[in-house]
């Protein structure tokens, strides 16, 4: 339980995303946190105090001027009680009032009175989020040290598509875990990570590749950096932005990726091989574009095996802690366990890429992680949430 003995004050403001707050409370308690809930007046239009009282195990506070509350845990006592104040959802209206320093109801008063860190999970219509006034308020709040967790982007209850979705409850729980950890999970750890596909040239315009988008590897890079690691990302060709704080090395072919890894692996503590590296490459690369000739409807290609990067790292006498990936379509567990032993890995994350909606090119994924003597399922989630859970699992088993 990563939040054992931690006290989290959850503020709920008015917005359709308030329906997620009950699950958020439950997920926080699953990690051992004690949770108390404060609601704004408008929040009660979307979810009842009784619901949040039932899942938290404590009465919900909603009145600044409640004489009964002052006799027990009034707004000052509640503000001092918290290790972290998290407002989820944080509406545009609430953030505007916070930016103005208002104390017009219990939740805004607590934010002024608490010595604890304050985090906001914005949730609103995409146009409201993009509005210049909202963006100015966000900048003001961030400049005062208030943390902004999100928002996510996607389809919204109103039918619009864009930024403004509240982060998933599990993702917010992970933020809380990292915020309240005594130190980041991978503080000072040097991580070398591969991601994306490789391209094996046939001629100057054609190549052999695969469907990897690099999204999982890039999510792991971001999650590891959030966890305090020094991250070097060796990336095949992808259409993704480099995560903040990550050093990126671009390569094309499996041989280039192998060279980039082996020249850096002795400087790392942890290696994660997430790239979808081509197993074979053409034996000969044509100097000019290969042309169709006559009535010949067939072309014969001779392929040779590429270097096995993860096996090469695992074979090193002073190898780093090594985590591999196994993207399979059948017998996922069998192939993953075989790869774990055969390539001398410390851990392997296996996924079934034959399932619709997860794996290659998808935004979501699910993994089963194996290590010597144990395994853990990581259920279907967006890839960043999944990456954060994977990094937390690796951190628990990694030994420098």
Per-residue model confidence (pLDDT) at position 361: 66
* Pairwise CA distance, residues 23 & 27, whole Å: 6
CB 355 within 8 A of CB 380: no
Ligand-binding site membership of 111 (annotated): no
Which range, 65-69, 172-176, 302-306, has the best average confidence (pLDDT)? 302-306
Using a pLDDT cut of 70, give the percent of the chain over it. 94
Per-residue model confidence (pLDDT) at position 191: 97
3-state secondary structure of 227: coil
Per-residue model confidence (pLDDT) at position 320: 96
1 or 107, higher pLDDT: 107
**pLDDT tens, residue by residue, 21-69:** 999 999 999 999 999 999 999 999 999 999 999 999 999 988 877 666 5
Distances (CA, A) of 39 to 49, 107, 235: 8, 7, 45
pLDDT at residue 365 greater than cutoff 70: yes
* Pairwise CA distance, residues 344 & 342, whole Å: 6
pTM for this entry: 0.61
Q: What is the DSSP letter of 52?
A: H
pLDDT at residue 387 greater than cutoff 80: yes
Tokens representing 38 are 């404060």
Catalytic residue (one of 158, 176, 177, 268): 158
pLDDT at residue 107 greater than cutoff 70: yes
pLDDT at residue 183 greater than cutoff 90: no
* Pairwise CA distance, residues 173 & 304, whole Å: 47
- 29 CB neighbour count, 10 Å cutoff: 18
* Pairwise CA distance, residues 200 & 333, whole Å: 29
Ligand-binding site membership of 279 (annotated): yes
Q: Starting at the earlier edge strand, list the strands of the sheet with 34-39.
A: 34-39, 7-12, 84-90, 118-122, 147-148
Ligand-binding site membership of 16 (annotated): no
Tokens representing 198 are 């490789």
Ligand-binding site membership of 273 (annotated): yes
Ligand-binding site membership of 260 (annotated): no
pLDDT at residue 306 greater than cutoff 90: yes
Using omega within 30 degrees of 0 as the cis cutoff, is the peptide bond preceding 139 cis?
A: no
Least confident of 178-182, 274-278, 344-348: 178-182
Confidence of residue 72 (pLDDT cuts 50, 70, 90): very low
Tokens representing 53 are 């009282």
158 annotated active-site: yes
Per-residue model confidence (pLDDT) at position 145: 82
Ligand-binding site membership of 32 (annotated): no
Ligand-binding site membership of 275 (annotated): yes
Structural domains of the chain, with CATH: 7-180 (3.40.50.1950), 190-397 (3.40.50.10300)
**What's the farthest any 2 CA atoms get from each other in the chain?**
93
Mean pLDDT for 231-258 is 94
Ligand-binding site membership of 289 (annotated): yes
């Amino acid at each position: 339980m990563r939040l054992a003995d931690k006290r989290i004050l959850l503020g709920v403001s008015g917005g359709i995303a308030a329906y997620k707050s009950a699950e958020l409370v439950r997920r926080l308690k699953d990690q051992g946190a004690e949770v108390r809930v404060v609601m704004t007046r408008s929040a009660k239009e979307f979810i009842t105090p009784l619901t949040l009282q039932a899942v938290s195990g404590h009465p919900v506070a909603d009145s600044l001027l409640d004489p009964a509350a002052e006799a027990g845990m009034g707004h000052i006592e509640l503000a001092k009680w918290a290790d972290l104040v998290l407002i989820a959802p944080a509406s545009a209206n609430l953030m505007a009032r916070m930016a103005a320093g208002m104390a017009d109801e219990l939740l805004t008063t607590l934010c002024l009175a608490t010595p604890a860190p304050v985090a906001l999970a914005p949730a609103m219509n995409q146009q409201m989020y993009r509005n210049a006034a909202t963006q100015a308020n966000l900048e003001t709040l961030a400049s005062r040290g208030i943390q902004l967790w999100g928002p996510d982007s996607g389809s919204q209850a109103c039918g619009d598509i864009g930024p403004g979705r509240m982060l998933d409850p599990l993702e917010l729980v992970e933020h809380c875990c990292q915020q309240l950890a005594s130190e980041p999970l991978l503080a000072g750890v040097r991580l070398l990570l591969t991601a994306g596909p490789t391209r094996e040239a046939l001629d100057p315009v054609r190549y052999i590749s695969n469907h990897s988008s690099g999204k999982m590897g890039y999510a792991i890079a971001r999650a590891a950096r959030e966890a305090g690691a020094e991250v070097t990302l060796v990336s095949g060709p992808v259409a993704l932005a480099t995560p903040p704080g990550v050093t990126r090395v671009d390569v094309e072919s499996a041989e280039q990726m192998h060279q980039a890894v082996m020249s850096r692996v002795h400087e790392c503590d942890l290696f994660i091989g997430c790239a979808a590296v081509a197993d074979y490459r053409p034996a000969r690369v044509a100097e000019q574009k290969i042309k169709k000739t006559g009535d010949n409807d067939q072309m014969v290609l001779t392929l040779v095996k590429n270097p096995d990067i993860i096996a090469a790292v695992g074979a090193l006498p002073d190898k780093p802690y090594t985590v591999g990936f196994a993207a399979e379509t059948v017998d996922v567990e069998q192939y993953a366990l075989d790869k774990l032993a055969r390539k001398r890995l410390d851990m392997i994350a296996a996924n079934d890429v034959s399932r619709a909606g997860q794996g290659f090119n998808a935004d979501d994924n699910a993994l089963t992680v194996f290590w010597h003597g144990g395994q853990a399922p990581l259920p279907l989630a967006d890839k960043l949430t999944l990456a954060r859970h994977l990094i937390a699992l690796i951190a628990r088993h990694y030994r420098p």
